[in-house]
A and B are shown apart, each in its own frame.
Chain A
Amino acid sequence: MTDASKTHAPGMHPDLPPPKTEVGAWGWMYHNLFSSPLNIGLTLGSLFLLFIAIPPILDWAFFDALWGGERTDCPKEAGTREGACWAYINYWFKHLMYGRYPNEELWRINTSYVIGAIGLIWLVLPKLPYKLWVGSFMLFAFPVICFFLFAGDSFGLQIVETPLWGGLFLTLVIAVTGIVASLPIGIVLALGRRSNMPVVKSLCVAFIELWRGVPLITVLFMSSVMFPLFMPEGLTFDKLLRALIGVMLFSAAYMAEVVRGGLQAIPKGQFEAAQALGLSFWKLMALIVMPQALKIVIPGIVNTFIGLFKDTTLVLIIGLFDFLGMAQNVSTNPDWLGFSVEGYVFVAFGFWIFCFSMSRYSQHLEQKLHTGY
């Protein structure tokens, strides 16, 4: 018997509100920020670090920054300025976004962006019908449409050679191709590696270990420089195409191992129950095992996607100017020396937007698919 119940009959104790330190904002702060001397020290130390770091960054980026769109909006000498000069970004915006793609033809890229955005939003938003059709369109028809739009030379469109492709546009082309190709190829490789057929298994293991064992930079370099040496006279492949194939195979090898990890986590009983019901191998995989395995490794898959997205910057080594490459290229312009920081900050921000969106979506996907197991 406790003291509190002395004044109440059994079963008659009223529901009291909890003490102030347990609930609400105070409660949260008490438990998370100030719960022990060590935590109090860390909280105060962190607040101090934020205090000395954030205001200067905000000053540089916003309050002392210069806005505009012409060379005259920025100081003559880059070293004398207090804040960022965003006119630099504004002036070079088209280059950072599209590379050296002809200005009159930019509508082709923008059209594909619009179609892509509509398709993506349709797939992402819940409760919209015909997702299978939209998904198939995005997977099969959309790449073909994009190819004809970007490259031209048919349907009356002016041809635009791939060396002119650049900026964020090029980053997206390489990253999306790599991401979309790596998952199906990776799944097939993972299944092959787990197979009981010795030839299939050895081929898959060899492929994975080969492509995982060399740096992407080497793959790109080899595809660009070494590959033409082995080709017969006169047969040339487009440089970007070679880079795309290299990126696809490289990321597929990584994805294969991520998927294999997910497959290993599925209990044998799931396979057996599906087999006992008479499901064939591929139906078993598609209906029972893969949905569970892929859901388990969503963090790993999205991790690989995000890594791939950023790895595309390596194409600079073979003379392709993606988002980062263009920022670097543009900073060497004799008219605009000294503003490279703004360029890099802008590019970093751009990458962060894409990567963070992927990360948020994956968390949303995990929540949506969580059926309690």
Chain B
Amino acid sequence: MAEEVKAEDLQQPTKELTVGEEIMIQMIDVHKWYGQFHVLKNIDLTVRKGERIVVCGPSGSGKSTLIRCINRLEEHQRGQIIVEGTELTGDLKHIEQIRREVGMVFQHFNLFPHLTIMENLALAPIWVRKMPRHEAEEAAMKYLERVKIPEQAKKYPGQLSGGQQQRVAIARSLCMNPKVMLFDEPTSALDPEMIKEVLDVMIELAQEGMTMLCVTHEMGFAKTVANRVIFMDGGEIIEENNPHEFFDNPQHDRTKLFLSQILAH
């Protein structure tokens, strides 16, 4: 595995990271099956406004599936998922409403290759939020500046490096002004030099109070910014704690095994 970005190397948050009272996401007794395979078991999770949650675990533990259920990229078969008061069911209207408020960043960026960076960013605000074009483009430039690549606006995704593409992907989600951001292993497909630039953007986002749910192997990031770390294995949530307790004092054997494997070097 590539050298992990150490917590000390990441930019440290300058503001106090607070957590609000409002509940953004609630998952109650959620189960999911892929055919016969029971991939999510008895998931109970509450996410409050401003919380930054890191979900970790071995491959196949269901962590990606869990966050993909939140914006209905995967369907759960039992239990309830409630996002900002709206329950996630087969109702298309609810699904689209929820997807507007929940942004997602993917492992493989998934930028639209036939559009320029500016068009990538402005597309959803124009077509989903019905914003006028110039307004959407102004906002897009603002977000491009926030992720520190405003000069790339006219280029195509194929011309950018991996780290730049992922930052564009983050900006693209932010253009919709979501209330919650989901990150599905955002740095796993990046070269080591680029991981830091993406993690720094995510830390700044956390500083501004964004509610974040992040599946990642970057434990440095978890130590810097997370206020809760969740460990999953075999489709279940095994352990849930704040980073200090989680890393220094793991309770379950499986957690201890996992931590010993990833923190070995």
- What residues of chain A lie closer than 8 Å to B123, measured between beta carbons? 277, 287
Compute how far the CA of A295 lies from the CA of B176 in the bound complex, rounded to whole angstroms: 28
Cα A279 to Cα B127 with chains together (Å): 8
Give complex CA distance A371, B113 in Å: 7
Please report the C-alpha to C-alpha distance between residue A272 and residue B74 in the assembled complex, in whole angstroms.
10
CB-defined interface of B95-125 with A at 8 Å, one 1/0 digit per residue?
Answer: 0100110111010101111100000000110
Q: Could you tell me if B156 and A272 are in contact, using CB atoms closer than 8 angstroms?
A: no
- A276 contact from B104, B108, B111, B156, Cβ within 8 A: B104
Query: Is B128's CB within 8 Å of the partner chain A?
Result: yes
Residues of A contacting B173 in the complex (Cβ-Cβ under 8 angstroms): 276-277
CB atoms of B128 and A373 under 8 A apart? no
Residue from B73, B103, B176 within 8 A of A272 (CB atoms): B73
Of chain A, the residue at the smallest CB distance from B126 is: A287
Q: CB of A288 within 8 A of chain B?
A: yes
* A371→B128 contact, CB < 8 A: no
A270 at the interface (CB under 8 A from B): yes
Which residues in B have their C-beta under 8 angstroms from that of A270? 110, 112
Contacts of B127 in A (CB 8 A): 279, 283, 287
Identify the closest chain A residue to B102 (Cβ).
A276
Compute how far the CA of A275 lies from the CA of B124 in the bound complex, rounded to whole angstroms: 10
Contacts A270-B112, A272-B73, A369-B114 given; does A277 touch B172 at CB 8 Å: yes
Q: Do residues A280 and B96 form an inter-chain contact, with CB atoms below 8 A?
A: yes
Residue in B72, B102, B113, B173 with the greatest tally of chain A CB atoms within 10 Å: B113
Binary B-proximity of A257-270 (CB < 8 A = 1, otherwise 0):
00000000001011
> Is A129 an interface position by the 8 A CB rule?
no
Known A-B contacts A270-B110, A295-B114; A277 and B124 likewise in contact (beta carbons under 8 Å): yes
Chain A contact-residue range equals: 20 to 34
Contact A269 B100 (CB under 8 A): no
Knowing A283-B127, A295-B114, the reply to whether A276 touches B96 (Cβ < 8 A) is no
The verdict on A372 contacting chain B, using a C-beta distance below 8 Å, is yes
CA distance A187 to B108 in the complex (A): 28
**Are A292 and B114 closer than 8 Å at their CB atoms?**
yes
Contact (A372, B159) CB under 8 Å given A272-B73, A295-B114: yes
Any B CB within 8 A of the CB of A40: no
Docked complex Cα distance between A280 and B95 (Å)? 10
The answer to whether A276 touches B71 (Cβ under 8 A) is yes
Identify which of A269, A283, A369, A373 contacts B157 (C-beta below 8 A).
A373
Residue A291 at the B interface, CB < 8 A? yes
Distance between Cα atoms of A186 and B206 in the complex (Å):
47
Q: Between A and B, how many residue pairs show CB distances below 8 Å?
A: 71
Contact of A277 among B156, B157, B159, B176 (CB under 8 A): B176
B99 touching A277 by the CB < 8 A rule? yes
By the criterion of a CB under 8 Å from any partner CB, how many residues of chain B are at the interface? 28
B73 with A278: CB separation less than 8 A: no
The verdict on B192 contacting chain A, using a C-beta distance below 8 Å, is no
- Report if A273 contacts B (CB, 8 A): yes
Q: Is A273 within 8 A of B112, CB to CB?
A: yes
CA distance A275 to B110 in the complex (A): 11
Known: A278-B176, A279-B128, A280-B96. A272 touches B110 (CB 8 A): yes
A273 to B172, CA, bound (A): 10
Please report the C-alpha to C-alpha distance between residue A279 and residue B92 in the assembled complex, in whole angstroms. Answer: 11
Scan residues 165-188 of chain B and give those whose CB is less than 8 A from a CB of chain A: 169, 172-173, 176
Q: Which residues of chain B are within 8 angstroms of A278 by Cβ–Cβ distance?
A: 96, 99-100, 124, 128, 176
What residue in chain B is nearest A280 (Cβ atoms)? B96
Contacts of A269 on B, CB cut-off 8 Å? Answer: 106, 108, 110
Determine whether B158 belongs to the interface, using a CB cutoff of 8 Å to chain A. yes
CB B214 to nearest CB in A, in angstroms, measures 15
Residues of chain B lying within 8 A (CB to CB) of residue A274 = 112
Q: Which residues of B contact A276 (CB under 8 A)?
A: 71, 73, 99, 102-104, 106, 173
Contact A373 B124 (CB under 8 A): no
22 contacts between A and B (CB under 8 A): A269-B106, A269-B110, A270-B110, A272-B110, A273-B104, A274-B112, A275-B71, A276-B99, A276-B102, A276-B103, A277-B124, A277-B172, A277-B176, A278-B96, A279-B127, A280-B96, A287-B123, A292-B114, A369-B114, A372-B113, A372-B159, A373-B156
- 6 smallest beta-carbon distances between A and B, as pairs: A273-B110, A372-B158, A373-B113, A277-B124, A276-B104, A269-B110
New A-B contacts (18) at CB < 8 Å, excluding given A270-B110, A272-B110, A277-B128: A272-B73, A272-B104, A273-B169, A275-B73, A276-B104, A277-B99, A277-B123, A277-B176, A278-B96, A278-B100, A278-B124, A279-B127, A283-B127, A291-B114, A295-B114, A371-B113, A372-B156, A373-B157
